[in-house]
Amino acid sequence: MVKLKSDNAIILKNVSFSYNRGLVLDRVNLCVEKGDFATIVGPNGGGKTTLLKLFLGLLKPDTGTIEVLGTSPEKSRLRVGYMPQHSTLDMHFPVTVMDVVLMGRLGNNFWGRYSTDDRARAVKALHEVNLGEHTRHHFSQLSGGQKQRVLIARALCSDPELLLLDEPTSNIDEESEEALFTILTELNSRMTILLVSHDIGFTSQVVKSVICVNRKVNIHPTTTMDGTLIKDIYGGDLKMIRHDHRCSEGGHSND
């Protein structure tokens, strides 16, 4: 019998994780469909970054299984683009935009030297984030929004099927955020995107699903506006998203 290819980018089955003391993620089951554009939301310390690191294979679950792009997180790593929350890059270090983006090719680069193909991919990635004119500029001279886009280009450089972004909208103004989401919406036509965000407001505009993380994990389609979900996650009233009837069937509990 022919084995059908999975339509899921990520599958977690009964995954629990703790650093040392106390569970951070508790028996998580999650399916993210290929082609989804999902935001990961939840309170501080709820486990969002931990979840991304599990997808990347940087952390291993205590129990349960994780499948990313049909295989283990370790095997899929080169097919996943990642922009970490706090870049380890010293923002004042004298590197050019091109140098930063080329770092995204390091995993593909056995000999430690960049090839013509690496450079062509870096230029293409910079064009995709509308920074094609800035290849020779110093990274430290760019605006906050431009720096975020360079870091996204670095994640795009390996031509990923799955793009994971940890708070790409932190420290950027509203205009830069809008530009960023226009770019991400375009990229979503060819890759699955998961993005950690504290800004719930934009999610109903461009995002297809919301993954709520607070020790437990629930995924919801975004449709119209309602406060219940946000109260559930944050315990307070913020800007809202509403989930459709699929959610009320499944419920949204943290028990």
Ligand X SMILES: Nc1ncnc2c1ncn2[C@@H]1O[C@H](COP(=O)(O)OP(=O)(O)OP(=O)(O)O)[C@@H](O)[C@H]1O
Q: Pick the closer one to ligand X by CB: 157 or 196.
A: 196
Q: How far is the CB of 131 from ligand X (least distance, A)?
A: 26
* Dihedral angle sign, alpha carbons of residues 82, 155, 201, 171: positive
160 near ligand X (CB under 6 A): no
Among 10, 15, 37, 50, which residue interacts with ligand X (rule: CB under 6 A)? 50
Among 44, 88, 189, 253, which residue interacts with ligand X (rule: CB under 6 A)? 44
Among 14, 23, 45, 248, which residue interacts with ligand X (rule: CB under 6 A)? 45
Cα dihedral angle (122, 115, 56, 89), rounded to 10 degrees?
-60
Nearest to 196 by CA among 226, 227, 168, 156: 168
Q: How far is the CB of 210 from ligand X (least distance, A)?
A: 14
Token pair for residue 43?
């309170």
CA count, 13 A, side-chain hemisphere, 233: 29
**Which SS3 state, helix, strand or coil, does residue 53 take?**
helix
Among 48, 154, 242, 243, which residue interacts with ligand X (rule: CB under 6 A)? 48
* Dihedral angle sign, alpha carbons of residues 45, 26, 209, 76: positive
Q: Pick the closer one to ligand X by CB: 73 or 142.
A: 73
Q: How far is the CB of 10 from ligand X (least distance, A)?
A: 16
Q: How far is the CB of 248 from ligand X (least distance, A)?
A: 25
Which residues of this protein are in contact with ligand X, per CB under 6 A? 19, 24, 42, 44-50
